[in-house]
């Protein structure tokens, strides 16, 4: 490995070490089940025939401090996702192997005079891929980081030979489904049990955005019927995340080969999302059970208005003095003081339910609910939720509603949480 880059020799050496050490682990626990890859399994309860499917896998920019996530749509329609940094790191190797297989197949198919040999089953399977490397970073005037893009490697194939289809499906199973998570666990196990004299270390991460898709011709009629009625329902390959945050151009484009982004910045909308999240995080101070947002203008502005009312009431009392017969001018002062106290309590309780006075005087708003975070920070609801879910290893967010299990397996009643 030179300059932090990994080559074939690095991969071979690492693979030998991993399987040698993992073999020792498996021998010590032979009852452990062998990994099973379900990314290309067919659902027998599905209304679609077995040869009608679309599967897709992308690595996209989350617009959260340059973090990337994996999202894949399996053959039977289920969606899997991972934001684990180790899995995203291991995904770079799996996607690179798959990319090399696709590009080699493209060269092989292009060199053949006919789409398939005699006697082979004729199919119409489309394979699309695009991989864009994130090369350099630059700090803008606001202190944010803009990432430059390398020349994308993208193409599209229409396969008619079952041999070619299998050639694509085998490496594709490594990037769609649980394989990446299993690879990350295997690597961690190999690192733990590696020889101290020859320790195993991970290669440098290659940062990229990628979109791979495989679609059979039998699936196209079902796709048109399923998605033409509701434009808001789309497959993963055509969703806004794939197009805007993974830079996928769409497999149905007639000029997909020549529509490369080239060297340039990420799309403007993605840059704006990154800046909005950076601005939102700049306001947050995370606690075990709350999010503290600095809002001195709100707190101290309220106190300043109330102080003006108090001083104004005193001034009126001294100015009027005994000029108005039968009227105590300091009653006006008492009224101003009472109104100032009511105004302080009202403004303090308007947006936040439980706000300690100590934090109020220090210009800090203590938020224990997502609605309070949105009301105080004025960040859009979806953006606030994405920030809180991304920060869940630090702040445990209890989810309420009819479908809490969609977010987590269990919610402990003793957990400190942000509701």
List, as one string, the DSSP characters of 89-143: HHHHHHHHHHHHHHHHHHHHHHH-SSSS-TTSPEEEEEEEEEEEEEEEEEE-TTS
Percent of the chain with pLDDT over 70: 66
**176 vs 72: CA distance, rounded Å:** 6
Sign of the Cα pseudo-torsion (63, 64, 67, 70, in order): negative
**52 vs 119: CA distance, rounded Å:** 22
- Looking at residue 418, what is its pLDDT? 52
Sequence-separated (6 or more) residues with CB below 8 Å from residue 393 = none
- Looking at residue 330, what is its pLDDT? 72
- Looking at residue 297, what is its pLDDT? 85
| Per-residue tokens: 300 | 């101290």
The CA–CA distances, whole Å, from 100 to 94, 103, 105, 180 equal: 10, 5, 8, 17
| Nearest CA among 242, 247, 281, 282 for reference residue 265 | 247
- Looking at residue 212, what is its pLDDT? 92
| Nearest CA among 379, 306, 314 for reference residue 346 | 306
| Nearest CA among 149, 128, 129, 130 for reference residue 138 | 149
- For the chain, list residues with pLDDT below 70: 1-41, 43-46, 112-123, 136-147, 225-231, 249-270, 280, 322-327, 392-419
What does the mean pLDDT of the chain come to? 73
- Looking at residue 84, what is its pLDDT? 83
3-class secondary-structure state, position 336: helix
Task: Return the half-sphere exposure (C-beta side, CA atoms, 13 A cut-off) of residue 381.
Answer: 3
Q: What is the pTM of this model?
A: 0.65
- Looking at residue 401, what is its pLDDT? 61
**97 vs 264: CA distance, rounded Å:** 26
**396 vs 256: CA distance, rounded Å:** 43
CB 246 within 8 A of CB 172: no
- Looking at residue 382, what is its pLDDT? 75
């Amino acid at each position: 490995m030179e300059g932090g880059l990994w080559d074939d020799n690095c991969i071979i050496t690492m693979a030998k070490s991993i399987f040698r050490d993992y073999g020792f682990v498996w021998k010590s626990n032979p009852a452990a089940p062998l990994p099973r890859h379900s990314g290309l399994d067919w659902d027998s309860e599905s209304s679609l025939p077995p040869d009608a499917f679309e599967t897709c896998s992308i690595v996209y920019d989350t617009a959260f401090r340059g973090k990337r996530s994996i999202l894949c749509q399996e053959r039977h329609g289920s969606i899997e996702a991972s934001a684990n940094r180790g899995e995203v790191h291991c995904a770079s190797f799996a996607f690179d192997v798959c990319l090399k297989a696709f590009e080699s197949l493209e060269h092989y198919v292009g060199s053949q005079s006919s789409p398939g040999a005699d006697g082979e089953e004729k199919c119409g399977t489309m394979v699309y891929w695009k991989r864009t490397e994130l090369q350099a970073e630059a700090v803008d005037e606001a202190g944010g980081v803009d990432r430059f893009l390398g020349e994308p490697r993208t193409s599209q194939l229409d396969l008619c030979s079952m041999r070619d289809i299998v050639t694509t499906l085998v490496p594709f199973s490594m990037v769609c489904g649980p394989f990446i998570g299993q690879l990350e666990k295997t690597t961690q196990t190999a690192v733990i049990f590696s020889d101290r004299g020859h320790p195993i270390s991970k290669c440098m991460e290659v940062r990229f955005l990628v979109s791979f898709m495989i679609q059979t011709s039998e699936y196209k009629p079902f796709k048109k019927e399923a998605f033409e009625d509701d434009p808001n329902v789309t497959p993963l390959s055509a969703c806004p995340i794939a197009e805007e945050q993974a830079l996928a151009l769409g497999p149905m484009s007639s000029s997909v080969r020549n529509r490369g982004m080239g060297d340039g910045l990420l799309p403007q909308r993605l840059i704006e999302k990154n800046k909005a999240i950076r601005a939102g995080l700049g306001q947050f101070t995370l606690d075990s059970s709350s999010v503290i947002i600095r809002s001195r203008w709100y707190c101290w502005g309220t106190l300043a208005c109330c102080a003006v009312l108090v001083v104004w009431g005193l001034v009126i009392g001294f100015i009027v003095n005994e000029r108005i017969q039968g009227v105590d001018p300091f009653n006006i002062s008492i009224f101003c003081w009472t109104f100032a106290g009511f105004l302080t309590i009202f403004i303090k309780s308007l947006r936040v339910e439980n706000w300690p006075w100590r934090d109020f005087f220090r210009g800090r708003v203590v938020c224990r609910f997502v609605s309070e975070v949105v009301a105080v920070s004025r960040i859009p609801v979806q953006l606030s939720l994405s920030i809180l879910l991304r920060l869940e290893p630090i702040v445990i967010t209890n989810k309420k509603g009819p479908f809490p299990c969609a977010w987590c397996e269990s919610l402990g009643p003793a957990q400190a949480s942000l509701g």
